[in-house]
Amino acid sequence: MTETTFIMSSYAVPVNYSPGLNQVILRDLRGHQEQAVEGTGTLDALLLLDGLLLRMQDGKLPCKPPELATADRDRLLAAIYKRTYLDKIESAITCEACQSAFDLDFSLDALLTQLQPDKTLEGIARLDDGTFRLAGGVHFRLPTGEDELAVLGLSPDEAAHLLLKRCLLDGDLEQDTARMQEAMQVIAPLMDMDLAACCPECGHQQWVHFNMQSFLLTALLQEQSQLAWEVHRLASAYQWSLNEILDLPRRLRRAYVRMIDVEMETPLYR
């Protein structure tokens, strides 16, 4: 395998909220990135993107993941989810009223369409440098991963206050907080929301929280034991090294495992 070169698949994803960027190119997920996920927080998401962003000819990244607007990061994670698991989001829910189990599913594309901001942005001016100004002079930028890292470890209230303080460029933080938060949600809605779910057994409606970052990273964490079995199966069959196997794009790795399953008639995937 040492003389074999695998062509890495890549795909373009639009970037709408980070100044100076129109799109980035992401590589297909590989075992190195899957194995590196340790949690569902901001740092894990940023490390995942650091490993998947396609580097330029000089070896540098087109942008540092912490500098991306949080809303853009959400959409990149959504693109990774779609590329890996397709468009459908599925989750098992337990009814709060009758304790029956039921499934909640929806289209990620449909959700992204619903989150498209109103292009008119009445009362909000987008400036050439990518920052925003409200009627009355409030001037701010959108939060980034750097801001989130800066408030790690603080209480929720302290973190929210400091994050907004970092984003406010001109205005009075105490007076303008509500307007700025509302404007941010209009301009660049995050994929972090409560969704309505109705129990098919008793009709009870409840709210279910959905966070794109947490959902993707949780899915990758839950598959790490499966990744170990795939590595074992490929190493046993082909005598490839761990690094060679983890270098494979996820799709190609799983295709090889399926071919081995057919020959051995002992399927790893049931």
Give the model's pLDDT for residue 7.
45
Judged against a pLDDT cut of 90, whether residue 11 lies above it is answered with: yes
Percent of the chain with pLDDT over 70: 94
Same domain, 84 and 148: no
Between strands 205-211 and 192-198, the pairing is antiparallel
Residue 110 falls inside a structural domain: no
The domain total for the chain is 2
Judged against a pLDDT cut of 80, whether residue 9 lies above it is answered with: yes
60: left (phi over 0), alpha (psi -120 to 50) or beta: beta
Q: Using one digit for the tens of pLDDT, what is the confidence trace for 151-172?
A: 999 999 999 999 999 999 999 9
Tokens found for residue 80: 């990774």
Same domain, 133 and 176: yes
Same domain, 42 and 83: yes
Q: Which of 172, 187, 202 is the last residue of a domain?
A: 187
Mean pLDDT of 241-249: 97
Mean pLDDT of 206-215: 98
Give the model's pLDDT for residue 210.
98
Q: Are the beta carbons of 29 and 250 closer than 8 angstroms? A: yes
Per DSSP, 143 falls in state: -
- What is the pLDDT confidence band of residue 262, given thresholds at 50, 70 and 90? confident
Report the distance separating Cα 115 and Cα 118, nearest Å. 9
Same domain, 259 and 127: no
Residue 1 falls inside a structural domain: no
- What is the pLDDT confidence band of residue 266, given thresholds at 50, 70 and 90? low
Residue 231 falls inside a structural domain: yes
Mean pLDDT of the chain: 93
Give the model's pLDDT for residue 144.
98
For residue 124, the enclosing domain spans 118-187
Residue 102 falls inside a structural domain: no
Residues near 176 by beta carbon (within 8 Å), at least 6 away in sequence: 134, 138, 168
Percent of the chain with pLDDT over 90: 86
Provide DSSP, 204-238: -EEEEEEEHHHHHHHHHHHTHHHHHHHHHHHHHHH
Closest to 164 (Cα-Cα) out of 185, 192, 193: 185
Burial label, 63 (beta-carbon count in 10 A; 0-12, 13-18, 19+): middle
pTM of this structure: 0.92
Same domain, 78 and 22: yes
